[in-house]
Amino acid sequence: MSGKANSSPIVTLTPAPTLDRTYFVTNLHSGAVNRADDVREELAGKGINVSRGLHLANISAPGIVPIGNSDPAVLVRTGSAEFLTPLWVDGSLRVSTTILEHGGTTTKVNETPRPLSHEDWNSIVELTDRTVRENGAKWLVIAGALPTYKESGEYVSLQPIFDRMQAQGVKVALDTSGEPLGYWAREGCATVMKPNAEELAFIVGRNLKTIGDVIAAAREVNAFGVDVVLASLGGDGMVAVTKDHAWSARTAPVKVINTVGAGDATLAGFLAAVVSNPIEPGEDDFGVGFNVPIGVKTAVQWGAIAVTQPTSGLTAVEPLPESTINYSPVLDTALDEPAIGKPH
């Protein structure tokens, strides 16, 4: 199904896409010359990865991407033209380099997002709004790092997008990082936010050592106005939290090859399940209007598939591994990887 059909339940926006280059090496030796056994290249970024995963599941999800016009063939070369809607801007794509060792250790070096002019960002806002309207989308995903304005060095503002989506009754899922993550969490404009444990600890400014700590931190974000917090916890699975409910989900252990893009896969899986299983009249909407438990159950399945694949973007979404969901998470369960939060 083409991402450019005029009927799509989900639209994605990747404000700062990247050209992902993955080098496969037997072992990485710091300070020495290393030989790559293989090199792969793909157009990536969190929103792009979400669109790609949904596309594999035959769910149309056109992706909005500002792309530097120095490489006009990049969409075709990376097999992305079918589901992405580009806005060509001056400059080049940033490059993210992943070095993947045979034993599974991943080293990643990301270039800083390219700054955008106010004019370019306003064009992105308009293109996003138009794409959502033309497709009758019910969800907009804003995912990935945010660029800064060329003129001021300040981060681009998401407020015009949130305002337009609210006017249309469109739900927004936000997955970003760093300073913008904390700012937009406190603004409470998003319907869903998907931090990992470290990012959630950053938002609340304290350490998270147990499932109960994660749920309490997520409830603080709920109090800002975010309906659902999806906290991805690596080997501990995922926790989904609303102001009244909490669920934890996980799969059986899998052989981890590459963790880059796993969080994007979980968000794609969550949305795939939510739009494919709408709440019927008389059913529990969990206070948010959509089926959170089936979403989080599917999210961990897609995340488990992602870590068994060598690139940042999903290449398949089947077969799904078995997953379990706990409707009453055990609060004192210790996290395998506690998250450290620095006070603001």
pLDDT at residue 3 tops 50: no
User: Which of 205, 270, 206, 204 shows the shortest CA–CA distance to 232?
Assistant: 270
Q: How confident is the model at residue 343 (pLDDT cuts 50, 70, 90)?
A: low
Inside any domain, residue 4 = no
Inside any domain, residue 220 = yes
SS3 per-residue string spanning 66-129: EEECCCCCHHHHCCCCCCEEEEEECCCCEEEEEEEECCCCEEEEECCCCCECHHHHHHHHHHHH
The lowest-confidence range among 173-177, 254-258, 286-290 is 254-258
Inside any domain, residue 344 = no
Residues 322-334: pLDDT tens digits?
999 999 999 999 9
Question: What residues pair up with 171 in beta bridges, in sequence order?
Answer: 139
User: Which of 167, 176, 241, 160 shows the shortest CA–CA distance to 208?
Assistant: 241
Inside any domain, residue 2 = no
Inside any domain, residue 29 = yes
* End-to-end Cα, the chain, rounded Å: 45
Domain count, the chain: 1
Mode of pairing for the β-strands spanning 18-25 and 84-89: unpaired
User: Which of 288, 276, 162, 140 shows the shortest CA–CA distance to 228?
Assistant: 288
Residue with tokens 């106005």: 225
Q: What is the mean pLDDT of residues 202-214?
A: 96
Q: How confident is the model at residue 5 (pLDDT cuts 50, 70, 90)?
A: very low
Token digits of residue 249? 């989900």
Residues 258-297: pLDDT tens digits?
777 888 999 999 999 999 999 999 999 999 999 999 999 9
Q: What is the mean pLDDT of residues 180-208?
A: 97
Stronger pLDDT, 43 or 152, i.e. the higher one:
152
Q: What is the mean pLDDT of residues 168-195?
A: 97
Q: How confident is the model at residue 183 (pLDDT cuts 50, 70, 90)?
A: very high
The lowest-confidence range among 72-81, 173-182, 207-216, 305-314 is 305-314
Q: What is the mean pLDDT of residues 68-73?
A: 86
- Kindly report the backbone phi and psi dihedral angles of residue 192, in degrees, each rounded to the nearest multiple of 5, phi listed first: -130, 135
Inside any domain, residue 3 = no
Question: What residues pair up with 65 in beta bridges, in sequence order?
Answer: 86
Q: How confident is the model at residue 216 (pLDDT cuts 50, 70, 90)?
A: very high
Residues 81-110: pLDDT tens digits?
888 999 999 888 899 898 989 887 889 898
Residue type, 158: L
Based on the residue annotation, tell me whether 244 is a catalytic residue of this protein.
no
pLDDT at residue 2 tops 50: no
pLDDT at residue 319 tops 90: no
Q: What domain range includes position 151?
A: 10-339
* CATH number (domain holding residue 312): 3.40.1190.20
Q: Cα 297–237–232 angle (5° rounding)?
A: 95
pLDDT at 274: 97
Report the alpha-carbon distance of residue 304 to residue 268 in Å, rounded: 12
pLDDT at 235: 86
Q: What percent of the chain shows pLDDT beyond 70?
A: 97
Q: What is the mean pLDDT of residues 114-141?
A: 96
Mode of pairing for the β-strands spanning 192-193 and 171-175: parallel
Report the alpha-carbon distance of residue 1 to residue 82 in Å, rounded: 9
Handedness of CA 318, 175, 138, 286 (dihedral sign): positive
Of the candidates 71, 120, 264, 336, the residue annotated as catalytic is: 264
